[in-house]
């Protein structure tokens, strides 16, 4: 017996359910981060958890639906904006833009900060982001304005620190994360001169930590 063809009404209902789940997931992720309860998302949308899993079999599928296009546009904007002739300005703007984009959205912060080794879509986005970070870093170092011992891992860890500071100080001192970032940038400048006693994470260590963040 042949399968029953879906009607235009059922296809419309499926599309509306998907859009409803994405909208409620966005609200939950902003407030609670990438590990927000999927059951809670389905319940707030007025749908069964089975409906959510039919549309998004894995949590990462829902995260990509909410944040994938946003991160893609964000990366496009960063790349287009890297036109400053001054390598130190490019370096500072890159970090300020990246950190500010995560303020007030725990889910986006998690999506940017974590690695999902079993998902090619997010791996491609994160590889592009790391490539941009590497580019502005190397350009700054080659120009002699960024310390030669600063690594991409240092930039990622600064991103984690800034997002956490923004999360806990947002309703008291909304600009606290900017001060912390500016202090870190001052330490990245060649003019600072002193050696760091602790070595940076290597690429393999950084990847393992980013993969661990998703719990």
Q: What is the pLDDT of residues 191-210, one digit of tens each?
A: 755 666 667 778 887 788 77
Q: What is the pLDDT of residues 44-73, one digit of tens each?
A: 999 999 999 999 999 999 999 999 998 888
Helix/strand/coil percentages in the chain, nearest 5 = 70, 0, 30
% of residues, the chain, pLDDT over 70: 91
In this predicted model, which residue has the larger pLDDT, 146 or 3?
Answer: 146
| Residue 76: φ, ψ to 5° | -60, -45
All structural domains of the chain: 7-57 (1.10.10.60), 66-212 (1.10.357.10)
Give me the residues paired with residue 146 across strands: 189
Question: Scanning the structure block, which residue is given the tokens 């829902």?
Answer: 62
What predicted TM-score, i.e. pTM, was given to this entire model?
A: 0.78
């Amino acid at each position: 017996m042949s399968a029953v063809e879906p009607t235009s009404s059922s296809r419309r209902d499926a599309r509306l359910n998907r859009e409803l789940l994405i909208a409620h997931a966005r609200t939950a992720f902003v407030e609670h981060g990438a590990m927000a309860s999927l059951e809670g998302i389905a319940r707030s949308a007025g749908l069964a958890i089975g409906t959510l899993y039919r549309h998004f079999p894995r949590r990462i599928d829902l995260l990509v639906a909410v944040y994938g296009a946003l991160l893609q546009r964000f990366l496009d904007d960063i790349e287009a904006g890297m036109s400053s002739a001054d390598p130190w300005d490019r370096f500072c703007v890159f970090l300020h833009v990246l950190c500010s984009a995560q303020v007030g959205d725990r889910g986006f912060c998690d999506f940017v900060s974590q690695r999902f080794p079993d998902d090619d879509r997010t791996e491609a986005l994160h590889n592009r982001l790391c490539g941009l970070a590497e580019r502005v870093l190397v350009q700054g170092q080659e120009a002699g304005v960024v310390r030669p011992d600063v690594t991409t891992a240092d930039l990622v860890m600064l991103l984690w620190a800034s997002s956490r500071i923004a999360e806990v100080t947002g309703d008291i001192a909304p600009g606290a994360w900017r001060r912390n970032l500016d202090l870190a940038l001052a330490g990245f400048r060649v003019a600072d001169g002193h050696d760091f006693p602790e070595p940076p994470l290597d690429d393999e260590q950084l990847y393992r930590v980013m993969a661990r963040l998703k719990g």
